Amino acid sequence: MIDIHAHILPGVDDGASNMEEALKILEKGRSEGVKTFVLTPHIRDDSDWGKIDYIKETFISLNRECMQRGFDVKLILGAELSITP
């Protein structure tokens, strides 16, 4: 199973508040059959675009932590974009 809309990146928008919470969410999802998570932090306005480097760094840290702990999950970085006329 693939979760295509996950707010799990720690400290980013309304996702997990820290790394341990993010790992617990991933572990719970994995126990329910999710093998791939598409992480989708909010990109709603210009201020969010300024956080792209932080979002990427947080994604790399979470992915690294999963590998170190032997989590059998695939993480993909995406975004929840707000589009207005």
Long-range contacts of 53-58 (CB under 8 A, 24+ apart): 54/12, 55/9, 55/12, 55/79, 58/9, 58/10, 58/11, 58/12
The string of pLDDT tens digits covering residues 29-71 is 999 999 999 999 998 877 777 889 999 999 999 999 999 999 9
pLDDT, tens digit (0-9, with 9 covering 90-100), for 1-31:
999 999 999 999 888 999 999 999 999 999 9
pTM score, whole prediction: 0.89
